[in-house]
Amino acid sequence: MTEYPCFPRAVPGAATPFNRGFAVFADLAGPGDDFEAVVGVTIRKDGNIDTISFEKQSGNRFFDESVLKAVKKASPFPGFPESLREETLDVGIRFLSSEFS
């Protein structure tokens, strides 16, 4: 897998552009609540989002809505480096409620 510095790998506990979208959810999630959602995002060369779709929904409407808002709020992403010739990049992003509590 080729790694590009403009798309760093996630580090558990590290601040990401997505964390700020979950401030309210972290306060409302009950003890023992453990939700997971996975979204597929197509990012254009300029860093803007082309499409967002769920690959897996959590089953909790509020969490799923928070996931979509967090991804949209994180946009635009850094533009692609010149060495990346593709026009778009498809990425999967996994959200775990336990990481936002």
Separation of alpha carbons 42 and 40, rounded Å? 7
Q: Each residue of 10-54: pLDDT tens digit?
A: 434 444 555 555 544 555 556 667 889 999 999 999 999 999 999
Average pLDDT, stretch 80-86? 90
Q: Each residue of 63-72: pLDDT tens digit?
A: 899 899 989 9
Is residue 95 over pLDDT 60? Answer: yes
Residue 97's closest CA among 50, 40, 41, 28? 28
